Amino acid sequence: MSNLWLVFKKLLPICMSETTWGLVAASKILFAVLPEIALPIDNVQWGKVFRTIDYSDVISDMAVEIISWERQVGAKLDSCDPLPHTTLPAVYNVVAMKARPTNEKKLQ
């Protein structure tokens, strides 16, 4: 986990611009390279779902929540998808995307 955090911190300056801190881009690059352990996180997820800008906190929380879910249900989360190449972070990301607050104005 600490190695992932170090790589994330090194990516941030490369991904930063005048209009972004680079959090989204860095997380998506890590997910593209390490889909088994990294999680792509969009702007709304950083602020409204995870409420942190610490990538290691998000990854730690993801691992704890997956383990908790698997214990409660008695099944492995990755067994819920018939496709064998789906990673746990990819499945978790679907849940995290669903947890994002929706903009009522967009729906109307």
Residues ≥6 apart with Cβ < 8 Å to 9: none
| Rounded distance between C-alpha atoms, residue 77 and residue 100, angstroms | 20
> Are residues 41 and 8 in contact, defined by beta-carbon separation less than 8 angstroms?
no
pLDDT score at 103:
64
pLDDT score at 71:
93
pLDDT score at 106:
46
Q: What is the pLDDT along the chain (108 residues), one digit of tens a residue?
A: 678 889 999 999 999 888 888 999 999 999 899 888 888 888 888 888 889 989 999 989 888 988 998 899 888 877 776 766 677 788 788 777 787 777 644 444
| Rounded distance between C-alpha atoms, residue 20 and residue 88, angstroms | 28
